[in-house]
Structure 1
Amino acid sequence: MVLSFGSAATPADSTHVLIVDLYVNHQRMGETFVLQDESGRFYVDESALLHWEISRPWPEPQQFSGVSYYGVHEFAGATAQLISRTMELRIFMPASLMPLRRMSMQNVDVDAQVEGYGAFMDYDLNWLNQGSISETSSYGLFRPVLFGPFGNISANVAYRDLSSSADARRLSVLELTYTRDDPERMRSLRVGDVYTTAPEMGRSLRIGGVQLATNFATRPTLITYPLPDFYGETAVPSALDIYINGRLSRSEDVQPGSFVLDNVPVMNGAGQMQVVATDALGRQQVFTQDFYLSTELLMQGLSDYSFTLGALRENFGLGNFRYGKLAGSATWRHGLSDNLTVEGHGEFTEDLAMIGSAMQYGIKAGGTVSTGLGFSDSDAGTGVRLQLGFRRLTGSMHYNIGVSGSTEDFSLVGSQQSQPKLQVVSSIGKNFYENGSLQLSVVHQGFYEKPERTIWSVDYSKRIFGSLSMSSYISYLDAQERDLSAGFRFFVSFGNNKSASANISTSRNGTGANAMIQRSMPMTSGYGYHLGIGKSDNSFVEAGGVAQNEYGVYSVDVRSNEYSGTAWQVGTRGSIAYMAGMTRASRQVEDAFAVVSVGSLEGVRVYSENIEIGRTNESGKVFVPGLRPYLSNRLRIEVDDIPLNARIGETSVDTAPFYKSGVVVNFDVQVTTNVVFRAVLPDGTPLPEGAVAIIYHTGEKFPVGMDGKLFLQGIDRSSEIEIRWSGSVCDIDVPYPSGSAVIAKLGDIVCEPRKD
C-alpha cells in the first residue's frame, strides 16, 4: 500500500508512506511503515532502530508528522531493496552496526538444598585370616555423619581386632570435624580436625583447630582457570558450530552482529578453536583462533585462600585426640590477570616460622612459568628455598622442568626431614597416535646428610590392535645401591565388564610375572570376580568375588602361595541412614543421598540419572544413595507403575544436596476416586452437552458429554457438586463408590434443580 503526501513531507518534496513486509539481514520483522523519498531512498523510524539494537551514533534524523525517521542510506554499509511484487523491503545492516552479543559457555549453577535433619554412617568391615596364623583378625572403618541446616558433624573411626597382637583391640578416632559450607561465597568453615591447603612452597598439615577456606567444590560448574574468549561477527542470523582441535564441542545460535563466546571449555594445553557460522542459505564463515590453557592459573579477579589456627595433630591413627604445638597456616592465591597468578603463604609453630611467595605466569607463546621464594626461621637457623619451573603441553607433546633448592637450615612446619639441597624434575613426552606414546623423565635429588640419587625412566604404551594394549617401562636408579628395573603389561577388554591382563617385571630383587582375568562389578546390582596366578619370590594363586545389591557390597578373596599357605578375606561395605522418618541400609552414601516419596504408592520404580535405584516401599518411599553434592541430580519415577486413577504432577525432578547431607524429594502423586455416570433431571432428561460440573472443595471443572455422560476425578465422601448450563443450576449427590475399580460406573444419577 502506498500513501502519498505533498508539502508535509520533510525528507523530500514528495514522500510515500509504504506498508511493507520488512526483512533485516534475512530475518523477517513483520509488516511495518517506512518512508520512501522521490530518489527511492528509504527511511525507518526510531523505534525500528531501537528494536534492531543498531549501535550508536546514528545520523541526523528527518522529521515527518512529528516522528523522527532515519535514512537507511546514511548508515555506513547499509542497503535497502524493495521487491514491488511482494512489497518486501529487504534491508542489510553490516555486522559492525549490530550489537555485541555475549554468550557464556559455562554451565548454569543450581541452588543447593537443605532439607531438615538426618544422619548416616558409611562402613567398611573386613575379616582376615593369614593362613600361617590360626587366629582371624578383623578391622573396620566407620564414617558417621549428623547433618541439618546447621551444617554437618562428621567423624572417621577405625577399629581393629588383631588377635595375635598384645594390643589386640583398638578403637581410634581419626577425625572429628564440624563443617558449614557456604556455596554462595564458595567457602567452608571447619572446626575440629582439618587439613591445610598444600601451598607451592610448603606441605599440607593436619591441625586440630579452626579453618576458613575457599571451597570451589561448592560451585562445581565454576571453572577456576582462565578460558579463552572468541570474538567474531555475522551479518545475518547464523548457527555456530564450535570445534576444539577438530572435534565438535557444541552448537549455538546467534543473531546478527558481533559476538563473544565467553569461557569456551577447552582441553588443557595448546590447541586451536574453529567456529563455523552457517546462515539460513547454507553460506559459511570460518573463524580460527589458537589458544593455550593452563589449569595452574586462576582466572582474573578470582581468589583462593585458606586460614587455619590450632594445634598440630600427633600420632595420627595411633591415639585419639592427641595434639601438640600451637600452629597456624595461611595461604592466599589471586588471579591478577588471566596470565598472572600470585600466591602468598605463611605458617608457624612455637619454634618455627616460614613465609613464602610464588607466581605462575602464562606466556602467550604457550607454556606456564612458575617461580617461588621462601624463608624460614627456627632453632636450627634461618633458611632459604628457591624454585623455578616451566611447563608446556600441546596436543602431541608435553615438556616439564622444575628446579628447586634449599639451604641446610630451611625447615617446614611438621616436617621431620631436612629439605633437599637440590632437586631437578624434568620430563618430555610425545604422542605418536597410532604408533603409541613415549615419555622420558629424570629426577635428581641432592641432600645435605645423605648421598644424592638420580632416577632415569622411559615409559612407552601402545594399542596393538582392537582392545589389546601394551605398556612398558625401564627405570635406572643411580645411587649408593644402583638398580635397573623393567616391565611389560598387556591389557585386553572383552566387553561386558570383562578384561584380562598380564605383567612381567624384573629388578635387582628378582623377576616376577602374573596374569589375571576379571569381571568388573556393574553400577547397579550385580557381581564381579577375578582369577589370578603369578610367581615372584614364590608362586601364588588367587581368586575373588564381589556382589552388590541395594543394601551393600560383599566380597570374598582367597590367596594361596607355597610359603605362607592359604589366606582369605571376607568384607562388606555399605551405609545406614536416617531421614524423614525412614531408616535404611544401603550401598555407601559417600557424599549425599535422597529420600524419594511417591505419595503412598508401593512398587514404583525410581531412577537416578536413568539408572534404576529401586522400588518404593509400603510407605511410598525409596532411598537413593550416591548423589553428587552441589550438582544437578535428575531423579525420575516410572509412569507405567502409577495406577490409572492417580493424578501425577512432575515425573522428574532435579535436586542438588549439600555435601554430606540428604534431601527429601516429594513427587506429587495422588490416588483419586474416579466415577462415570449419566446425569439426568428429575424427569429423566439427560443434562445438555457442554454443561459444566464443579467440585466445590477442589474447584475443578468437568464438562458434560453426549447423553448426559459425566466423568469426575478426585471425589471424596463429602464432595458437593453443582452443574451449570445456560443460566440453570442443579445440585447432584454422587454416592462414594465401593470396591477398587479404577473408574466406578454409577449408572443414572438425578441432578436436583436449584430453587431461587
Structure 2
Amino acid sequence: MAPSTPSSTTTPARRPYRWPAPIVSVALAMSAGKAMSVNAPVDGATATPAGQTAPAGQVLFLETRINHEPNTRLARFITRDGVLLASPSTLRELGLRPPAAADASGLIALHALAGVRVDFDASLQQLDLLVPVQMLERPLTHIDLARRPMLGPDPGQRSPGVLLNYDLYGQRFAGTGNYNAYNELLLFGMGPGQWSTTMSSELHTGSAGTGIRTTRLDSRWQLDIPDKMLTLSIGDTLSGALDWSRATRIGGIRLSRNFALQPYRVTTPLASFAGEAVLPSTVDLYIDGIRQSSQQVLPGGFQLDAAPSINGAGQAQLVVTDINGQRRTMDFALYASPRLLQAGLSDWSLELGTLRRDYGQRSFVYGNKPVASASTRRGLEEWLTVEAHAEASAGIAQAGAGMQMLLGQRGGMLSASLAASQAGPRQGSQYGLGYQWASPWLSLAASTLRRSQGFRDVPAVLEQATLPRRTDQAYAGFSTRFGQFGLSYVSQRLPGVDPSRYASFNWSRSSSGNALLSLSYNRNLGGSRSDSAFLYWSLPLDRHTSIATSARHGLDGNNLSMEASRGVSSDLGGWGWHAQTSTGEDRSARAEVTRLGEYGQWSAGLERTDSSGAHSTLLYASASGGVVWLGGYLQALRRVDDAFALVSTDGIGHVPIHLENRMVGTTDARGYLLVTPLNAWQHNQLSIDPQQLPADMLIKATRIDVVPASRSGAKVSFAMRRTLSLQFGIRDRHGQWLPAGSHIILQAEGSAPIALSVGHEGKVYVQDPPAQARLHFDGGDAACHAALPVVPAREGHFELADVICR
C-alpha cells in the first residue's frame, strides 16, 4: 500500500522574535566570561563573499537545542547590533535547511526566519530554537513495526532423539470389536534433517473371525533451512496447489518455500502511515480502536509500517501527542488480506515423482509414470499478487495463471484464474472468478469455477476421476445487536448427474453470562428438496464446566438432547467428563470420562441406544500420547504435534515449571519434565519462580528462551544447587547492633575476603561460607572481630543466635 499522508500537517505560524538591543547588551555582559570575541570573518571559507570583509562581531558558542529535542549541540553564532546571526553551514550542522537569503557577509539573522522562535539563556549559554517542520533538514524517521530478527534453534539446546506418537481407539458393539491404531515415528537431531514414518493398523473381531491389517501411510526425510525459508522433502508428499488447482499425492522429491520457518516475518503487504511532528512526540497507532503500538519520534517527518491485525476493511488512527500534551489525530482507511504477498516476495514449490495410489489401503503402490508440477505466487505490487501453476505426466499437461487484486482501500479483493489442459487429443480449459469483501460488521464472498468438457488435470487422468464441470459459491454474513447472521449457497455440477444445490442460514447470539444461542437451517435445492434444522443453547458454569441442550430436525425425524460436560486444562491436565441423553425417533444415552496427564490422554465411555424397540450398547475407549528418547532420557509424554522440550533442574525434583507464565508441571524426582506443546521456530519462554523454592537454592537463571525446530525436541537446563546459607545478628562488645549499612569482612585462610552488608537490627546474610571463617569490622575505635559459628550441615538455611563482635 502506498504510504498514507495526513490531510493537514501545517505548523501554526509563530511571530518572529527579535531581541531588543538593551537585552542583548545585558546578555553579552553576563556572558563575557564565557563568550569569545573576535574581529574576523564569520566563515571565511564560505560565508563571506569575495572581496568583502565581515564586520566585527562577537562569537558565541552556544549549547543549542532544536524543537525541545533531548539532545543538544554546541554551535557557533555571531551577535551584531543586537541581532543573533548564523552561517548557512551552522544551520546545516544543526539539521536545519538554510534559506536562500543572507546578508552581505553571508550570515542569516535568526529573527528574520519565518515561523522561528528564539529563546536565549545568557547565564547558561543555551539557545532554544523552535522551527517549522519544513525547515528541518533530516532524513525521514522510519519505524518498521513488522521487522523482527530471524530466529533459529540454539545449537546448545539441540539434542538427538526418537519420538513415537500413538493414537489408539477401540469399540465393542453387538459381539464384534473394532480396534484401530495410528503410529508416527520421528528421528531428529541425528545429522541434517529428520526422518518420519506413519502407519495405521486395524483389528476386527467377531463371529466371522478375526482380521488384521497394517498399512504404511507416509515416509519421508525432510530438511528445513530457516535462513532461506526452504524445505526439502524426499519421500511421500503432497504437491503444491493454488485455490484453483488440486494437490497430488506423490512419492518423490519436493523443494518449496516455507514461510513457517520464519513465523515472525510478515508476508502480507504492510500498512504505511506517514506524518510529521514539530516537537518530540509519542505516536500511537490504533486499528479498529485497539492500540497496536506506541512509539517515540523526534521532530520531523516519520513513516510507520505495520502489519494490520485485521482481515478485511478497517479503520486506522494515528494519534500524535507532543511533549506539551497537544494531540493531533489522523484517520486512514485500510484493507488487509492474507491472499496478498508483499511486493517482490515469492512463494513457490517444485515437485517430481510418481503418483501414490490406493493411499490408506495399500502400503507401497505407486504409479509407473513420472509426475512433475510447479506452483508459484509473487507480489508484483502491494495491491497485486500473480499466480501460476503447471503440472505434467505421460499423456497429460496442464498450466494456468491467476491473480489476487486489491480494489482500492475499500473495494475488497478480486481473484481470477485461467488454465488449459491437453490430455491426448482432448483439449480443455478452466476459468475462475471470485470476489471477497470483509469488515467487522459485513462479509461478502462469491466465486465460480468452470471447466470445459475436455479439461483434465494429472490426478483426474491417472486416477480416472471425474472433475465437476461447474462449482459456484456465495456467502453473506453480517453482525447486528441482534446477533450474527449468515447466508450461504453452494452448487456443483458433475457430468451426467443432476446438479447439487444447497442453501443455508445461520444465526447466533451471545448473551449475559456467556450463554450462546444458535440456529441453523439447511435446504437441499436439488431433486429431493429435503431440509434440516438445528437449534442449540449452551451455558458455561465455570471455566471448564458447561451445560447445553439442542433440538434437531432432519430426514431421520426430530431429536432433542441435553448434555453436561467438564473439559480438561490443556496445561495442567486432570479429569474431565461428558454426559448426554437424547430423545425422539431414536433414544440414546452416553457417558464418557477423560483423563489428561503428563504421560498422555485416555478416555472411556458407553452409549446406550433404543431404536425401533431394539436395544444396543456400545463400549469404546481411546488413548493418545507418545514415548521419547532424548539425550539419554526415556520418558512417556503427551502426544507431540509441533515441538517439545526436556527441562532439567540439575537433579533437583519437584520444581514447578512455567511456560509463558503458565504453570505446566513439576519436575520428577530425577529433576526432569517434558513440556509440550511448544511453538516451532518461535520464542518459548520457560521459567521457574524462585519464591516457590527453598531459601537455600542458588539459581543461575530463572528464565530461558527456547526456539525449537519443528517436530523435534530441545534440551533445556536450569542450573541450580542447594547452598548453605546463614542468617544472624551481630552486636558489638557493648551489646549494641552494628550500624545498618556498615560493612564487615568475612575471611578464611586460603580464601578471598568477602564483603558483607549489615542490615537492620544487625542482620547479616552469608551464603556458602568457607570453613573456619572469621568476621572483621573496621569501625575505628569500634573495630572488632568474631568467629563465624560452625554449622554441621553442608546445605540448608539456618537462623543462628546473635554473634558478639569483640
TM-score bracket relative to the smaller structure: 0.7 to 0.9
**Is 2:426 aligned against 1:381?**
yes
The correspondence for 1:739, drawn from 793, 798, 803, is 793
SS in 2 for 1:226: coil
1:513 partner letter: L
The 10-residue stretch of structure 1 (582-591 or 27-36) with the greater mean CA deviation from structure 2: 27-36
The correspondence for 1:215, drawn from 234, 258, 271, is 258
Normalized per residue, the structure richer in strand is 1
The correspondence for 1:542, drawn from 572, 586, 590, is 590
Residue number in structure 1 paired with 2:205: 163
Question: What is the CA-CA distance between 1:536 and the residue it aligns to?
Answer: 5.2
Decide whether the 8 Å contact of 1:4 with 1:14 is kept in 2. Answer: no
Offset from partner CA, 1:520-563 (integer Å, 9 cap, x none): 21121222211111235411111111121212212112111013
1:300 partner letter: A
CA–CA distance in structure 1, aligned partners of residues 673 and 144 of structure 2: 38
Question: Superposed, which structure 2 residues align to 1:285-324 within 5 Å?
Answer: 285-324=328-367
CA–CA distance in structure 1, aligned partners of residues 310 and 552 of structure 2: 34
Question: Superposed, which structure 2 residues align to 1:633-648 within 5 Å?
Answer: 633-648=684-699
SS in 2 for 1:81: strand
Decide whether the 8 Å contact of 1:10 with 1:63 is kept in 2. Answer: no
Question: What is the CA-CA distance between 1:87 and the residue it aligns to?
Answer: 5.6
Residue number in structure 1 paired with 2:145: 105
CA–CA distance in structure 1, aligned partners of residues 169 and 202 of structure 2: 9
SS in 1 for 2:716: strand
The correspondence for 1:81, drawn from 94, 97, 119, is 119
**Is 2:566 aligned against 1:519?**
yes
Decide whether the 8 Å contact of 2:397 with 2:422 is kept in 1. Answer: yes
Question: Superposed, which structure 2 residues align to 1:485-564 within 5 Å?
Answer: 485-523=532-570, 524-535=572-583, 537-562=585-610, 563-564=614-615
Q: What's the RMSD between the two structures over aligned residues?
A: 3.8
The correspondence for 2:236, drawn from 184, 189, 193, is 193
CA change 1:18–1:191 in 2 (3 A) is same
CA–CA distance in structure 1, aligned partners of residues 743 and 523 of structure 2: 93
CA–CA distance in structure 2, aligned partners of residues 614 and 47 of structure 1: 64
The 10-residue stretch of structure 1 (282-291 or 558-567) with the greater mean CA deviation from structure 2: 558-567
CA–CA distance in structure 2, aligned partners of residues 282 and 695 of structure 1: 63
CA change 1:734–1:313 in 2 (3 A) is farther
SS in 1 for 2:691: helix
CA–CA distance in structure 2, aligned partners of residues 486 and 60 of structure 1: 81
CA–CA distance in structure 1, aligned partners of residues 745 and 539 of structure 2: 72
Unaligned runs of at least 5 residues, structure 1: 679-687, 726-732, 749-756
2:604 partner letter: V
CA–CA distance in structure 2, aligned partners of residues 379 and 211 of structure 1: 27
CA change 1:42–1:69 in 2 (3 A) is closer
2:37 partner letter: F
**Is 2:411 aligned against 1:366?**
yes
Offset from partner CA, 1:278-317 (integer Å, 9 cap, x none): 1222110111111111211111111111111111111111
Offset from partner CA, 1:143-178 (integer Å, 9 cap, x none): 121101412111222122111365611222211111
Residue number in structure 2 paired with 1:682: none
SS in 2 for 1:217: helix
Decide whether the 8 Å contact of 1:362 with 1:369 is kept in 2. Answer: yes
**Is 2:755 aligned against 1:703?**
yes
The correspondence for 1:354, drawn from 383, 398, 404, is 398
CA–CA distance in structure 2, aligned partners of residues 234 and 695 of structure 1: 65
CA–CA distance in structure 1, aligned partners of residues 90 and 621 of structure 2: 78
Residue number in structure 2 paired with 1:341: 385
CA–CA distance in structure 2, aligned partners of residues 501 and 40 of structure 1: 83
Aligned length: 725
Decide whether the 8 Å contact of 1:673 with 1:716 is kept in 2. Answer: no
SS in 1 for 2:677: coil
Question: What is the CA-CA distance between 1:267 and the residue it aligns to?
Answer: 0.6
**Is 2:487 aligned against 1:436?**
no
SS in 2 for 1:201: coil
Offset from partner CA, 1:44-66 (integer Å, 9 cap, x none): 8968855x6x37688799999xx
Residue number in structure 1 paired with 2:46: none
Provide TM-score, normalisation by structure 2.
0.82
Question: What is the CA-CA distance between 1:258 and the residue it aligns to?
Answer: 1.2
Question: What is the CA-CA distance between 1:84 and the residue it aligns to?
Answer: 5.2
Question: What is the CA-CA distance between 1:503 and the residue it aligns to?
Answer: 2.4
**Is 2:505 aligned against 1:458?**
yes
Residue number in structure 1 paired with 2:441: 396
1:543 partner letter: A
**Is 2:188 aligned against 1:147?**
yes
Decide whether the 8 Å contact of 1:26 with 1:236 is kept in 2. Answer: yes
Unaligned runs of at least 5 residues, structure 2: 1-30, 44-53, 730-741, 779-786
CA–CA distance in structure 2, aligned partners of residues 211 and 58 of structure 1: 62
2:458 partner letter: V
The 10-residue stretch of structure 1 (30-39 or 411-420) with the greater mean CA deviation from structure 2: 30-39
Residue number in structure 1 paired with 2:166: 123
Question: What is the CA-CA distance between 1:631 and the residue it aligns to?
Answer: 0.9
Question: What is the CA-CA distance between 1:205 and the residue it aligns to?
Answer: 1.6
CA–CA distance in structure 2, aligned partners of residues 444 and 378 of structure 1: 27
CA change 1:183–1:59 in 2 (3 A) is farther
CA–CA distance in structure 1, aligned partners of residues 595 and 361 of structure 2: 33
CA change 1:43–1:212 in 2 (3 A) is same
Residue number in structure 1 paired with 2:675: 624
CA change 1:704–1:414 in 2 (3 A) is closer
CA–CA distance in structure 1, aligned partners of residues 96 and 474 of structure 2: 53
CA–CA distance in structure 1, aligned partners of residues 352 and 91 of structure 2: 63
**Is 2:56 aligned against 1:35?**
no
Decide whether the 8 Å contact of 2:422 with 2:428 is kept in 1. Answer: yes
Residue number in structure 1 paired with 2:13: none
Offset from partner CA, 1:346-405 (integer Å, 9 cap, x none): 112223221111111111142111111111111471111111111111221122121221
Decide whether the 8 Å contact of 1:421 with 1:446 is kept in 2. Answer: yes
CA change 1:44–1:639 in 2 (3 A) is farther
Residue number in structure 2 paired with 1:175: 218
Decide whether the 8 Å contact of 1:44 with 1:72 is kept in 2. Answer: no
The 10-residue stretch of structure 1 (450-459 or 630-639) with the greater mean CA deviation from structure 2: 450-459
Offset from partner CA, 1:223-274 (integer Å, 9 cap, x none): 2211311111111111222211223233222222211111332311111100
1:396 partner letter: W
CA–CA distance in structure 1, aligned partners of residues 559 and 375 of structure 2: 46
Provide TM-score, normalisation by structure 1.
0.87
SS in 1 for 2:678: coil
**Is 2:42 aligned against 1:10?**
yes
CA–CA distance in structure 1, aligned partners of residues 118 and 569 of structure 2: 64
Decide whether the 8 Å contact of 2:351 with 2:372 is kept in 1. Answer: yes
The 10-residue stretch of structure 1 (301-310 or 15-24) with the greater mean CA deviation from structure 2: 15-24
Decide whether the 8 Å contact of 2:470 with 2:494 is kept in 1. Answer: yes
SS in 2 for 1:301: coil
CA change 1:34–1:612 in 2 (3 A) is same
1:80 partner letter: V
The correspondence for 1:331, drawn from 367, 375, 399, is 375
Offset from partner CA, 1:452-504 (integer Å, 9 cap, x none): 23222222222344422222223322223222333322222223222222222
**Is 2:706 aligned against 1:655?**
yes
Offset from partner CA, 1:685-725 (integer Å, 9 cap, x none): xxx9776859989xx7622789xx998755789x99999x9
CA change 1:26–1:509 in 2 (3 A) is same
CA change 1:21–1:553 in 2 (3 A) is same
Question: What is the CA-CA distance between 1:422 and the residue it aligns to?
Answer: 2.7
Decide whether the 8 Å contact of 2:241 with 2:389 is kept in 1. Answer: no
CA–CA distance in structure 1, aligned partners of residues 147 and 594 of structure 2: 37
CA–CA distance in structure 1, aligned partners of residues 795 and 73 of structure 2: 57
